[in-house]
Amino acid sequence: MLIVIPKESQYGETRVAASPETVKKLIKQGHQVRVQSNAGLAATWQDSDYQAAGASISENITSMYSDAALILKVQAPNTQEIALYPEHAALVSLFDIHRYPHLGLLAAKHIDAYALELIPRITRGQSMDVLSSQANIAGYRAVLLATHYFPRFMPMLMTAAGSVKPARVLILGAGVAGLQAIATAKRLGAIVEVFDVRPATREQVESLGAKFVEVELSSEEQAAFAHTGGYAKEMSDDYRQRQSELIAQQAAQADIIISTALIPGKAAPILLTAATVARMKSGSVIIDMAVSHGGNCPLSQADQVVVSDNGVSIVGQSNLAALMPTDASSMFARNVLTFLALLVDKDANYAPQQEDEIVQATRVCHAGSIYFASAGLAAQVTAAQSSQTSAVSATADAITADVITADANTADVITA
């Protein structure tokens, strides 16, 4: 089976869906692997590294997909890329599925598409969980990014010139990213406080040496968290009011805030209002990790640093994992390799285990049908949608290759 690894097209995306390590394993399993030239360059992997692992290198983006049975990506394809895909291929990628608008185009070409962010949080899925592996990296990088903008030391220091107080770090959200942010901030010597709407996270937070800050829950609110699958959920207006007051009090004392709160399928909740930012100390820093989904602070702007009137730096880096592309790509690639065991048989043929719960959870397109009911999408592709394929192909012919190729080297620049 021919597996194609393209260079990512999204601006600022430095990761790649397969590493030389995983390519070597795919070759050993009996697959052919074709990698787009310079696909791994931003992750420090040369074309020669992939060739040494057994892959072929393609410099022609049009012919690269010829005869492809499976395409592996980090970010979901745009319309120009879809136009180049062969019919009846399979695609594995992150999709940001609640907002992705092109499932109809994939279904019209009878492409089987699997959204990695939909892997269920079950024990068997942990080794495939790209959200967790990438969030781990993002949480670590968020703290380091905060130290870049913070004008003071993180740890307490006793020097001949006097003592320096430790920085106070407030982390909003104790998911995978938040827990890694706690561990990193503690290693750097900061005092760490953590807020999360899920009471069950207290034990994990305290095991890392941080103080857990919580809004007192009613019995009804406590019961609501019993069936959330490990994710945060929307809360009542009354709870949000109590939450806002508590966070405002804690934010006023904080030097650095790392905000990680997301709700699957919905805009990120506003946790740091403009009024809360106005109460913060000059020189303090907010890293809004939810900026790509609207942000936890209304002042955040994607991939920019906004400085408030009272001197608070609000950093809206939308793809923190891409700032560490080598390890991020390595971990992503291993997750994907494990996931592929559910899609490929022992003879290296595409043969998805259709009854497997992970396959069913992640499958968003199959045999011309859409299996994910996001906004504006019908559950079934009609014959009329087949005309979309021709329209997309015509569009692709008029677009030059440099539209498809992003300059990944600019990803670590945050524009002020």
Active-site residues, by number, are 121, 126, 129, 132, 231
- Name the residue among 406, 300, 331 with its Cα closest to residue 134: 331
Using CA atoms in the order 92, 95, 100, 103, what is the torsion angle rounded to 10 degrees?
10
Dist. CA 265–CA 16, nearest whole Å: 25
Dist. CA 122–CA 158, nearest whole Å: 47
Dist. CA 192–CA 207, nearest whole Å: 12
Q: Tokens 């410099």 identify what position?
A: 59
The H-or-E segment that residue 72 falls in is strand 70-72
The H-or-E segment that residue 360 falls in is helix 357-362
Contact assessment for residue 36 and residue 94, using Cβ atoms and an 8 Å cutoff:
no
For residue 304, report the phi and psi dihedrals to the nearest 5 degrees: -135, 160
In sequence order, what are the residues at sequence separation of 6 or more whose Cβ sits closer than 8 angstroms to the Cβ of residue 389?
83, 105, 108, 109
Dist. CA 173–CA 195, nearest whole Å: 6
The alpha-helical segments, DSSP class H, found in 254-298 are 274-278
- Name the residue among 321, 392, 298 with its Cα closest to residue 14: 321
